[in-house]
Amino acid sequence: MTDTRAFSKEKLIPQSPLPYISRKALKRVGDDALPIPTKCECGGKVILSKNSVIYNGKEYGDWPFVYHCTCCDRYVGLHPNTDIPLGTLADKCLRDARKSCKPPFNKIWQLGFMSRDEAYIWLANKLDIDKTKCHFGLFDENMCEKARTLCEDFFTKNKVKVNLRTGEIHA
């Protein structure tokens, strides 16, 4: 459900250290909005910080913030110009799995086999999950691997040889 603040008339007061929250960006996130995390699955407290706390003092990206656990190494970034997390908190293994399994999926719509929306519906059906739950930011490692296998099978069936790292198509 779209964050109700997207439609409020009052000034949106961001949680520190966010400089602002954009209603337009909240609307863009729309139904994909996840609750703001306060507790990690390890039991630790989750806080919002600049992502320089993760990257050895350097800030990365246009919206350099993270929700991170104060006890373990789990963290997650934010949708740009909002305080909405991109997914659930993830440790290194899960972050790597999400990072490596999403590009093959993206190729399906980027190469025009389906629209982005159709691709998510296709993947949700194949994984037998609700479309609202079909986001790499919500997947565990097992789901990430399943998704990657499905996407690779898709390219095999369509006789497309794609370099899933670079996105190049080979004849």
The site for Zn ion (CB under 5 A) is made up of 40, 42, 44, 69, 71-72, 74
Return the DSSP state at 113. Answer: S
User: What is the Cα–Cα distance from 155 to 153, expressed in whole angstroms?
Assistant: 5
Q: Which is nearer to Zn ion, 44 or 137 (CB)?
A: 44
Q: Which is nearer to Zn ion, 75 or 155 (CB)?
A: 75
User: What is the Cα–Cα distance from 45 to 68, expressed in whole angstroms?
Assistant: 8
Specify the amino acid at residue 44.
Answer: G
φ/ψ region of 159 (left if φ > 0, alpha if ψ in -120 to 50, else beta) reads: left
Q: How far is the CB of 17 from Zn ion (least distance, A)?
A: 20
Q: How far is the CB of 61 from Zn ion (least distance, A)?
A: 22
Q: How far is the CB of 40 from Zn ion (least distance, A)?
A: 3
Q: How far is the CB of 70 from Zn ion (least distance, A)?
A: 8
